[in-house]
Structure 1
Amino acid sequence: MRPLLGRRARQRWLHLIIGGALLMPYFLVGTVIVGSYRPEADVFTSPANQLMAFAYALPMATVTALLPLARPLSAAAARALCGLPPDRPLADGPARTRQARVRSAAWFTLHVGLGGVISGMTLALVPFAVAVMGLPFFAALRDSSAMGVPEALDRAWVLALAPFAGIAMLVALSGCAAAAGALLANRAPVLLGPTPHDRLAAAERRAAELAVRNRLARELHDSVGHALSAVTLQAGAARRVLDSDPEFVRAALTAIEETTRRTVGELDTVLGLLRKDDDGARGLPSGPGLDALDGLLARCGLPVAHTAEGDPGAVPGTVSREAYRIVQEGLSNALRHGGRGEPVRLRVSVGAGELRIVLDSPLPERPAPVRPGGGRGLLGIAERALLLGGRTGAGEHEGRWRLTARLPLHTPAQEQR
Structure 2
Amino acid sequence: MTSRLLLAIASLVLLGACDAAPGLEPGDEEIPTAPLRAQSRLAEVAVGDFTLGLKADAGMQGGTPLEVGAGGFARFSAYQSGVWLGGVQDGATRSSIVYWESNFTTDCGDGQGRLFALDSDTTYTDTEAWPRALGAPTEADGSPRVYGNQMLWGSFCSVPLTFSGQWANRHADPLQGLRMNMAVYRYRRDDLDGALFVRYEVSNEGAAPITDLRVGTFSDTESPGLYARPEGAPGPFYSHDAVAFDPASGLSYVYQMPFRESDGSLYVSTWVSGYTFLDLPLLSHRILRRYTWQEPEGFGQGPASATEVVRALDGLSYAGDPMIDPTTGAPSRFAFSTDPFARTTGWLDGRDEDGVFEGFDVRQLLSAGPVALGAGETLTFTVVWVTADEQPTSFDSYRQVQQTLAAVRAEPSLWRFGPEG
TM above 0.5, one fold? no
Structure-2-length-normalised TM-score? 0.21
Larger strand fraction of residues: 2
Structure-1-length-normalised TM-score? 0.21
Higher relative contact order (CA 8 A, sep 6+): 2
